């Protein structure tokens, strides 16, 4: 089974972050522009939260807040649940299932290295299973 470091190595794209003072409207625009479901909230070089589409729906829309006037710090999830590059895809999937989350920042020595989503993990597991099936078919055929 792959670890997080291997999954990150196969991902394209850059990490999208915002300062905690950023208006929610800007955060939602960034998510739409980059076709992503979350952004990391940073203060200096430190990860202080994560803002997701779910946070927006529950903490802005349902509470009647203004997207333009609400800072992302008011709706972000914090503290952030993180993983390390050495964690396995299975460990990440278990964490996501148990905590009902879809995004995990990857942190090592206090530094954010990337982000894995449930989609990244499902893709990795499917690829690993396909490779195992092919190996078993080759073994049986020989």
pLDDT in tens, the chain (142 residues): 889 999 999 887 789 999 999 999 999 999 999 999 999 999 988 999 999 999 999 999 889 999 999 999 999 999 999 999 999 999 999 999 999 999 999 999 999 999 999 999 999 999 989 999 999 999 899 8
Domain extents in the chain: 4-141
DSSP state of 89: H
Domain 4-141 CATH assignment equals 3.40.50.720 = no
CA distance 84 to 107: 5
| pTM, full prediction | 0.88
Total residue length of the chain: 142
CA distance 1 to 128: 7
Identify the burial level of 68 via C-beta atoms within 10 angstroms of its C-beta, where 0-12 means exposed, 13-18 middle and 19 or more buried.
Answer: exposed
What Rg value do the Cα atoms of the chain yield, rounded?
Answer: 18
């Amino acid at each position: 089974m792959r670890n997080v470091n291997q999954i990150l190595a196969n991902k394209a794209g850059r990490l999208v972050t915002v300062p905690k003072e950023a208006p929610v409207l800007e955060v939602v625009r960034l998510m739409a522009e980059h076709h992503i479901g979350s952004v990391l909230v940073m203060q200096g070089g430190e990860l202080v939260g994560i803002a997701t589409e779910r946070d927006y729906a529950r903490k802005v829309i349902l509470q009647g807040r203004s997207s333009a006037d609400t800072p992302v710090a008011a709706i972000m999830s914090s503290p952030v649940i993180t993983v390390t590059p050495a964690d396995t895809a299975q460990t990440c999937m278990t964490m996501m299932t148990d905590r009902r989350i879809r995004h995990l920042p990857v942190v090592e020595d206090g530094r954010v290295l990337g982000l894995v989503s449930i989609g990244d993990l499902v893709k990795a597991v499917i690829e690993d299973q396909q490779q195992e099936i092919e190996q078993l078919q080759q073994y049986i055929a020989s």
